[in-house]
Amino acid sequence: MEKVSLKTDTLKKEIISIFKKYGLSNQHALISAKALINAELVGAYGHGLSRIRMYCDRISKKVINPKPQFKIKKISQSITHIDANNSIGFVAADIAIKRSILNAKKTGIGMVAVKNSGHYGLSGYYAEQAVKKNLISMIYTNAPPAVAPFGSIKSLFGTNPICFGSPTGSKVPFILDTSISMINRGKIRVAARNNQKIPQGVALDKFGKPTTDAKKALEGVQLPIAGFRGSGLAWMVDILSGVLTGGNHSGKVKDPFDDFTGPQNIGHLFITFKTNLFVKDFNSRIKKNLKIIKRLPKIKGVKEIMYPGENKFKRFKMNSKKDIKISNIIKKDLEILKQ
Ligand SMILES: NC(=O)c1ccc[n+]([C@@H]2O[C@H](COP(=O)([O-])OP(=O)(O)OC[C@H]3O[C@@H](n4cnc5c(N)ncnc54)[C@H](O)[C@@H]3O)[C@@H](O)[C@H]2O)c1
């Protein structure tokens, strides 16, 4: 696949000007551009620029509101409920994580529920913001149907990521940020666009047969991690981010690429809390915890036992030093959107 190299700043300016052309304010365009660039830099291409055309199409078709009026309801010093008025998800999530951090700094724990939002990209991106303020975070969002509940042949759960972030006493945060499906749906979309195969054992076609054809997988069902356990975790995320928040749930979140009949009304839940609620020496305790685990004897061929988030941190640092490489397909998307 042919790639084009672009300076990060040039790309950021291009994205900002595209979003502004589609009606976002300068600040909202900047928030969205930063989130998309971050996804490219950590190598989460399925949540990066491969989606920009989709966001702009949804704005054009009036199912993302480019000028949202956020309703921010204070429920207590710790708890906030946000109605995002169908904004682009990045902006709703940015407001929510910042509010959750403020609440936690004031009271020890912050909890922010969001409804009427859209796809916000990578949960870990928001967990990193909390870690930088020395807070632990737990973040949930639901997503359009992709995974069949255990025992069913119909997709209903999204790939519903589960995210947990924690300071580590070092520069490299612990960020467990994982979808509950064997493979991220974004990766399947990228494979389908580039005519690439997907791995065995991650999806079934619409007839329930295992497939490595990305297009057939998108029409069929994705498999959850660990059978009924993964299905249960997806269900938990649907309850926490959909049922609890006032967002859509039980398969009602619309697919952002294929369904323009209305807004997605995705729900998110952000929980952040201080590390010193129960012990005064969290930093030294977590350092010890990581040290013990990282020093365990390794399987042959494994150089290092990594904790979640280490791989993405390294990738981000390495990629930040270089130009961003985008495929010709994405370059074409940007050119069309700029016209
Ligand atoms: N907004 C949405 O609707 C949505 C839906 C699904 C996924 N996502 C996002 O997509 C991103 C990718 O999800 P994914 O499930 O493909 O992630 P992944 O499989 O790449 O990684 C999952 C987790 O495992 C960790 N990990 C990976 N390799 C490791 C190793 N060798 N040792 C230790 N830990 C390791 C990672 O740091 C990460 O925390 C996430 O950021 C997620 O939030 C978003």
Distance 261 CA to ligand 1 centre (A): 30
| Amino acid letter, residue 307 | Y
Query: Which phi and psi (to 5°) does residue 241 adopt?
Result: -95, -20
User: pLDDT tier at 279 (50, 70, 90 boundaries)?
Assistant: very high
- Which atom of ligand 1 lies nearest, measured to the CA of 175? 39
100 touches 40 (CB < 8 A):
no
pTM reported for the whole predicted model? 0.96
Verify whether ligand 1 is closer than 6 Å to residue 47 (CB atom): yes
User: Could you tell which of 177, 185, 268, 312 is best to mutate to test the pocket of ligand 1, judged by most ligand atoms within 8 Å of the CB?
Assistant: 177
The finding on whether 268 has its CB within 6 A of some atom of ligand 1 is no
Distances (CA, A) of 170 to 105, 132, 178, 301: 20, 11, 22, 26
Q: In this structure, how many other beta carbons lie within 10 angstroms of the beta carbon of residue 322?
A: 11
Sequence-ordered list of residues with C-beta below 8 angstroms from that of 72, at least 6 positions apart, any chain: 80, 81, 82, 95, 99
The pLDDT of 204-210, averaged and rounded, is: 90
Query: How many other CB atoms are found less than 10 A from the CB of residue 255?
Result: 17
Beta carbons within 8 Å of 53's beta carbon, 6+ residues apart: 333, 336, 337
pLDDT category, 153, cuts 50, 70, 90? confident
Residue 324 in this model has a pLDDT that exceeds 90: yes
Cβ count near 56 (within 10 Å): 21
- Cα–Cα separations (whole angstroms), residue 332 to 7, 22, 201: 17, 17, 33
**CB 154, CB 231: distance < 8 Å:** no
pLDDT classification of 288: cutoffs 50, 70, 90: very high
Residue showing tokens 């580590």: 168
pLDDT band at 152 (very low <50, low <70, confident <90, very high): confident
pLDDT band at 318 (very low <50, low <70, confident <90, very high): very high
Task: State how beta strands 135-141 and 162-166 pair.
Answer: antiparallel
pLDDT interval class at 208 (50, 70, 90): confident
Kindly report, residue by residue over 65-104, the tens digit of the pLDDT: 999 999 999 999 999 999 999 999 999 999 999 999 999 9
